[in-house]
């Protein structure tokens, strides 16, 4: 209780609240804009937070993360275009409710259930994380090596259509992670006399490049080629008629009875989403779709799902934000990012000299409590700002694309420089941007690269420490139960599908022979 | 095409890792992997995966060509030039910054106004110039005066 009181006192200072509010507002703008994602927002605005105290900086980043995920639903509901990938499922019913003349009701559902989902996610995080961290304190170097490998394998397994592509990108990231001083003997590797590279590549410019510049170029490549001679600026690109008309008789919010009726669907959604969020490599999109499908199976109004059901919209909105609690649990307790945003947040915490993992709970329980309180405050701010200004943020979708792309490029380049006052990082950002663009065009996932870059060093140093333990052979990884279990999980996550297919094939062959 | 570029880059990186890993000193203690251990392992696996994906992509392209379903360019020709122009401008900007040619504000206003105009198929160039100038001044004030970052 004392720790909670200290955390409350730390968070409820003017500076922290202003930064958190700014993060929430920026996140709403980013989330409401189709094409901008929470990952991109957190990556390009991360350098802005280096210059303030950790709690204020983290407040801003959590604000962007939570509210961007929430605000993705605004454009999904009003325009039928998901603002972020996490809100794809919100288009199933949200757009239809809006088309029925009830856009205000749909926006209210989005705000209310996103916030409640987010709050439940934080509650589960705060209850579950301490026991998980206590358990993880038993981990030694072999377990940490396998945990890092497991995180990477999960992201590879779920982030793309092809495991081969995901693995290649993961190893590309590991290849970049070996640049710098060797963790045990201090041998300079691939630095070529450049002192900036002694600590390895700073992963922030790489992330900014991949998710900022790379995504901007990808979006540019997907818009039609302009006919510059026949431009007509008098014609607006999008008109206000894109927004759904409001029926004056339509309810503006759900009644208490309706909300109460959706309680089981909501609880199932929160449980599913927290678990899905905790699995590295998954995210709000998977959580929302899985929750929507599962709730449809047992709902009384299952035939309404997909046809403008309020309960279905509530389920998808709650899933997106509840998922954050799960992703944060894995990130804080094990140091493994649940998704790309938490990968960047690990980087941010490390910049503030807080290394996520079980030791964070042992050495800095005050900071852990501050994180819980910040996440809670972010959700409360979303409730107020969302109810007041959802429609206003939706209007930002009419800003010219060129302005948005230029803003991303400016913040990406200047932000990359600002981290270490180094133009070398600007070049790193640009090259990562080009790589990200090529990878996006070739359908290679970027997530495993970022994750490998973060986990690579942890994996190498723990691997070497493991080899120094008796018996000093590879058997170290297989004689310890937790390490062995994690190794089996790595194999299953990478080749589980192929193994199952092979088993099924053999069974069918045997049956046909009989 | 993009797939072949990424796989070739990855192959190049793996060969680079393997080539330079040979020069790292050996381990001082027995049982402790040397500084070249991890880069070599990663290099070998990356090489294998890159070649696998490269061959896979080439086979798929060949099959698609013979079936007549191969789309030569996923990006339109006009777009390629537009992207190239923007990329070149960004690199030019970084070079000017690195070698302290000109001034941050002036360079940024000119380069980002050009980028905004190149991107701006939906607004007039005058509006793009005004917007990018305002944006650069805002970023300059934010970083220099509020965050105390020396941008030049």
Which chain B residue is nearest to residue A223, measuring alpha carbons? B79
Of A166-170, A235-239, A289-293, which gets the smallest average pLDDT?
A235-239
Would the pLDDT of A223 be above 90? Answer: no
A240 C-beta neighbours (distance < 10 Å), count:
8
Chain B residue whose CA is closest to A181 = B35
Q: What is the pLDDT of residues A447-474, one digit of tens each?
A: 788 888 888 888 888 888 888 888 878 8
Q: Give the pLDDT of residue B72.
A: 61
Reported as a single tens digit per residue, the pLDDT across A118-127 is 999 999 999 9
Count the neighbouring beta carbons within 10 Å of the beta carbon of residue A14.
7
Distance from CA of A77 to the nearest CA of B (A): 25
CA distance B67 to chain A (A): 21
Task: Report the residue of A163, A218, A225 to disrupt the B interface, i.e. the one with the largest count of B CBs within 10 Å.
Answer: A225
- Given this model, what pLDDT does residue A281 score? 67
From the list B33, B77, B120, the residue facing A464 with the nearest CB is B33
Q: Which residue of A has its CA nearest to B73?
A: A441
Instruction: Report the residue of B30, B51, B119 to disrupt the A interface, i.e. the one with the largest count of A CBs within 10 Å.
Output: B119
CA of B40 vs chain A CAs: smallest distance (Å): 10
Q: Is the pLDDT of residue A47 over 50?
A: yes
CA–CA separation, A79 and A99 (whole Å): 10
Give the model confidence (pLDDT) of A179-209 as tens digits.
Answer: 999 887 888 999 988 888 888 888 888 988 9
Per-residue confidence in pLDDT tens, chain B, 152 aa:
788 999 999 999 999 999 999 988 887 777 778 889 999 999 999 999 999 999 998 998 888 888 877 766 556 677 888 899 999 999 999 999 999 998 889 999 999 999 998 887 667 888 888 998 999 999 999 888 877 888 87
Q: Is A52:A348 a contact under the CB 8 Å cutoff?
A: no
pLDDT at position A434: 94
Is the Cβ–Cβ distance between A448 and A159 less than 8 Å? yes
* pLDDT for A245: 67
> Per-residue pLDDT tens for A15-24?
999 999 999 9
d(CA A212, CA A18): 25
Give me the pLDDT at residue A152, please: 79
Q: Give the tens place of pLDDT for each residue, A277-319.
A: 887 767 778 888 888 888 888 888 888 888 889 999 999 999 9
Burial B32-63 (b: 16+ CB within 10 A, else e): ebbbbbbbbbbbebbbebbeebbeebeeeeee
Q: Do B13 and A411 touch (CB under 8 A)?
A: no
Domain limits of chain A?
A: 2-222+243-513
Residue B147 sits at the chain A interface (C-beta within 8 Å):
yes
Tokens of A93: 């019913």
pTM for this entry: 0.82
- B86 touches A: beta carbon within 8 Å: yes
**B78 inside 8 A of chain A by CB:** yes
**In Å, what is the CA distance from A501 to each residue of A158, A492, A495, A498, A508?**
17, 13, 10, 5, 11
């Amino acid at each position: 209780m004392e720790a909670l009181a200290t955390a409350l006192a730390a968070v409820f200072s003017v500076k922290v609240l202003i930064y958190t509010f700014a993060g929430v507002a920026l996140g709403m703008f980013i989330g409401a804009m189709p094409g901008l994602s929470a990952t991109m927002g957190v990556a390009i605005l991360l350098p802005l937070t280096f210059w303030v105290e950790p709690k204020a900086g983290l407040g801003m980043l959590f604000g962007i993360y939570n509210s961007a995920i929430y605000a993705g639903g605004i454009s999904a509901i009003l325009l039928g275009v998901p603002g972020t990938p996490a809100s794809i499922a919100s288009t199933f019913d949200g757009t239809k409710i809006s088309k029925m003349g009830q856009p205000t009701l749909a926006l209210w559902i989005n705000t209310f259930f996103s916030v409640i989902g987010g709050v439940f996610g934080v509650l589960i995080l705060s209850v579950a994380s301490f026991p998980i961290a206590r358990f993880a304190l038993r981990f030694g170097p072999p377990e940490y090596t396998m945990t890092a490998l497991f995180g990477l394998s999960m992201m590879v397994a779920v982030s793309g259509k092809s495991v081969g592509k995901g693995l290649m990108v993961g190893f590309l990231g590991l290849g970049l992670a070996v640049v710098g001083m060797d963790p045990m003997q201090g041998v300079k590797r691939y630095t070529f006399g450049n002192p900036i590279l002694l600590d390895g590549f700073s992963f922030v410019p790489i992330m900014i490049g991949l998710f900022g510049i790379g995504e901007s170029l990808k979006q540019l490549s997907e818009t039609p080629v302009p006919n510059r001679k026949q431009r007509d600026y008098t014609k607006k690109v999008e008109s206000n008629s894109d927004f759904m008309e409001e029926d004056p008789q339509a309810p503006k919010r759900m009644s208490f009875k309706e909300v109460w009726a959706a309680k089981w669907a909501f609880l199932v959604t929160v449980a599913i989403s927290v678990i899905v969020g905790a699995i590295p490599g998954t995210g709000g999109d998977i959580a929302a779709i899985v929750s929507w499908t599962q709730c449809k199976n047992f709902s009384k109004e299952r035939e309404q799902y997909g046809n403008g059901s309020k309960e279905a919209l509530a389920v998808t909105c709650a899933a997106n934000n509840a998922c954050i609690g799960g992703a944060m649990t894995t990130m804080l307790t094990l140091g493994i990012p649940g998704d790309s945003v938490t990968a960047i947040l690990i980087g941010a915490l490390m910049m503030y000299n807080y290394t996520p993992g079980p030791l964070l709970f042992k050495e800095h329980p005050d900071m852990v409590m501050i994180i819980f309180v910040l996440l809670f405050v972010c959700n409360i701010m979303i409730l107020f700002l969302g109810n007041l200004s959802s429609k206003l943020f939706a209007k930002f979708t009419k800003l010219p694309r060129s302005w948005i792309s230029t803003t991303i490029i400016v913040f990406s380049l200047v932000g990359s420089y600002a981290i270490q006052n180094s133009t070398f990082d600007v070049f790193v950002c640009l090259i990562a941007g080009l790589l990200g663009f090529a990878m996006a065009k070739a359908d290679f996932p970027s997530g495993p690269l970022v994750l490998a870059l973060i986990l690579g060093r942890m994996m190498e140093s723990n691997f070497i420490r493991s080899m120094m333990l008796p018996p000093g052979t590879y058997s170290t990884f297989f004689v310890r139960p937790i390490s062995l279990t994690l190794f089996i999980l790595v194999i299953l996550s990478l080749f589980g599908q192929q193994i199952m297919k092979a088993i099924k094939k053999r069974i069918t062959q045997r049956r046909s022979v009989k | 095409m993009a797939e072949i570029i990424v796989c070739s880059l990855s192959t190049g990186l793996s060969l680079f890792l393997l080539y330079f890993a040979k020069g790292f000193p050996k381990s001082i203690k027995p049982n402790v992997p040397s500084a070249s251990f991890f880069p070599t392992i990663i290099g070998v696996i990356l090489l294998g995966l890159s070649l696998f994906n490269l061959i896979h992509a080439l086979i798929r392209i060949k099959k698609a060509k013979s079936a007549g379903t191969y789309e030569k360019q996923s990006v339109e020709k006009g777009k390629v030039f537009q992207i190239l122009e923007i990329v070149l401008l960004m690199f030019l900007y970084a070079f000017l910054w690195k070698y302290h040619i000109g001034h941050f504000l002036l360079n940024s206003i000119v380069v980002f106004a050009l980028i905004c105009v190149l991107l701006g198929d939906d607004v007039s160039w005058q509006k793009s110039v005004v917007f990018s100038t305002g944006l650069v001044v805002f970023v300059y004030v934010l970083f220099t005066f509020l965050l105390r970052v020396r941008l030049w």
